[in-house]
Structure 1
Amino acid sequence: MRLDRKALSPPLRPANLLSARQLAFAWSVMAAIALLAWVLVVGQARDMGVEPGTMGMDVPLFLLLWLVMMIAMMFPSVAPVALTWARSIGRQSPTRGVRVARTAQFAGGYLLVWTAFGLIAYGLLAWTGTLVDEHPGAGRWIGAGAFLVAGLYQFGSWKEICLRHCRSPMGQLVRYTGFRPRVRDLRVGAHHGAYCVGCCWGLMVVLVPLGVMNILAMAALAVVIFVEKLWRLGPVFSQVVGAAFLVLAVLSLFQPWLLPGLIPPESPMTEMLTP
């Protein structure tokens, strides 16, 4: 009896091809959302410029702008984790509407944590803005301190732990499946967001001296975050960035042009050198 190889070979599975298409579509959606967020941030930054403090924004407006900033800066680097979780959702929820809703919950939980951190950022900016308005010469010390804290944190153990999770989250994603189904996706997003804040809060601190609406600074930090999390040599790159921040901490004491976010618009840059 002669066996037919065609009968023995497994057929092509359209479901696998569909999964690949869905994955590409999901990548496109997240990229489009991040791009739209960048367009909104750039447009707003042109109207506001770079100034110390909260630039006159109240808390709700600041948090709304902060949320758009986080979408622009974080979505490219969080996309692999979100899509990995979405693929696991696909095995449990065959209905497209359910998958979309659950993925949206994941993103909502992630952004909720960053919004909470935005409250801390608002308080820090309000405090530094008031201090610089009253004592312009204090700006150089605030800037140096921000770069110093950010640089040292890049070498710390907490940074290493959080970065390790963000780079290899599969162990945590498996553990997340044991969460109770109720608002599980929201909790998963918030849990991963907490690790992301732990990994990146030091980078966000440098927006105080560089300016919270400094588009070039935001773009540079977004690239740093992306490379740290996705490049093979990301941990090494993270320490190189830390060393650069330490250098900036020293230079900012003598080069006020490095501190656009701490210079009042009515004050000449030379005031930053006044003791």
Structure 2
Amino acid sequence: MGLSAGLVSNRQSGHQLGRQLVWGLFFASILAAWGLLFVMQPGLDLPAGWQDLGADYLASLCRSTAGTVGYAPVLAMWALMALAMMAPTTVPALKTFTDLGHAGAASASGLAALISGYLLVWLGFSAVGAAAQVFLSGHGLIDPLGRSTATFLNAALLALAGAYQFSRLKQACLNSCQSPMMFFMAHWKPGASGAFRMGLKLGAVCLGCCWALMLLAFVAGTMNLAFMGLAMALMAIEKMPVIGRYLTVPAGVALLAGAAVTVFFALPIMN
């Protein structure tokens, strides 16, 4: 009995250490993404020697238009933006998954697979966002900072994001994000492969919540760190089960009002 109990205890300690390692890598990757996005800011005065680390090259990518640097660098920038903004918003769901691990239902490999599936969905969205930026840049509709220069596009994106806040799809996806325990109970699949599939579903639900808000990067600028931080906070709070329920409608109203104001100030002034 003593030997068996010791083996079980050692196994549990190993699982706990593994989960902590995955958590550490998860948060390290988020910090690295924010750091790289900061280094890529146009006009940033880099300290001497940083160019040897490739920082000057990263910054140079954002001094040119998306049409000039090509698709791959823009995709890398969108992937970093998605990681920096969206990964933190899924922490409650990941915490719920690891809590299930204390009962032996989840493992470190399962947690890693869940995160991988989740991020793969956002990588797909990043591919679409990067393609859109290259297309818009090629037609002169956005500036080198990834900011729309067309009033109609700004108004349309604000109106789209505002109207989507009131949609049934948004509410259905948001309900799943706000109740991760119910999500896992409804979609639970054992093993790392099952966790990966759950990660894909979790990513799809999260995408259903946030895709319209993410497209507002074209309004504020795809390299605007202030927008990224504000949008991340908004999406994270919106996924909270109590506070989030009181945020969706006001955010929708504010976005629709922003669209109306954008159109109003674009109209010629009548004398």
TM-score interval, smaller chain: 0.7 to 0.9
Find out whether 1:226 has 2:236 as its counterpart.
yes
Find out whether 1:75 has 2:83 as its counterpart.
no
Find out whether 1:251 has 2:261 as its counterpart.
yes
Q: Distance in 2 between matches of 1:191 and 1:228?
A: 19
Residue 60 of structure 1 and its aligned partner are, at CA, apart by 2.9
Distance 1:169 1:250, change over 3 A: same
User: Could you say what secondary structure the match of 2:140 adopts?
Assistant: helix
Could you tell me which residue of structure 1 aligns to residue 45 of structure 2? none
Contact 1:52 1:129 in 2 (8 A): no
User: Could you say what secondary structure the match of 2:66 adopts?
Assistant: coil
Moved more, 211-220 or 37-46: 37-46
Write out per-residue CA displacement over residues 139-179 of structure 1, whole angstroms, 9 at most, x where no aligned residue: 000110010001100111111110110010212202333x3
Contact 2:30 2:83 in 1 (8 A): yes
| Aligned residues between the structures | 238
Residue 193 of structure 1 and its aligned partner are, at CA, apart by 0.2
Distance 1:105 1:213, change over 3 A: same
Find out whether 1:236 has 2:262 as its counterpart.
no
Could you tell me which residue of structure 1 aligns to residue 112 of structure 2? 104
1:1-275 matches, within 5 Å, as 30-46=26-42, 47=59, 54=66, 56-92=68-104, 99-133=107-141, 139-177=150-188, 179=189, 181=191, 183-230=193-240, 232-253=242-263
The runs of 5 or more residues in structure 1 that have no matched partner are 1-13, 257-271
Residue 250 of structure 1 and its aligned partner are, at CA, apart by 1.9
Contact 1:49 1:213 in 2 (8 A): no
Distance 1:206 1:52, change over 3 A: farther
Contact 1:145 1:249 in 2 (8 A): yes
Instruction: Give the aligned residue type for 2:78.
Output: W
Contact 1:26 1:83 in 2 (8 A): no
Instruction: Give the aligned residue type for 1:123.
Output: A
RMSD of Structure 2 on Structure 1 (CA): 3.5
Distance 1:194 1:246, change over 3 A: same
User: Could you say what secondary structure the match of 1:253 adopts?
Assistant: helix
Distance 1:159 1:51, change over 3 A: farther
With a CA cutoff of 8 Å and minimum separation of 6, indicate the structure with the bigger relative contact order: 1
Moved more, 158-167 or 231-240: 231-240
Contact 1:77 1:230 in 2 (8 A): no
Contact 1:203 1:221 in 2 (8 A): yes
Q: Distance in 1 between matches of 2:257 and 2:24?
A: 38
The runs of 5 or more residues in structure 2 that have no matched partner are 1-8, 43-58, 143-147
Residue 27 of structure 1 and its aligned partner are, at CA, apart by 5.9
Moved more, 56-65 or 199-208: 56-65
Identical columns (%): 25
Residue 241 of structure 1 and its aligned partner are, at CA, apart by 1.2
Q: Distance in 2 between matches of 1:110 and 1:141?
A: 33
Residue 59 of structure 1 and its aligned partner are, at CA, apart by 3.1
Contact 1:54 1:126 in 2 (8 A): yes
Instruction: Give the aligned residue type for 2:32.
Output: L
Instruction: Give the aligned residue type for 2:112.
Output: A
Residue 248 of structure 1 and its aligned partner are, at CA, apart by 1.3
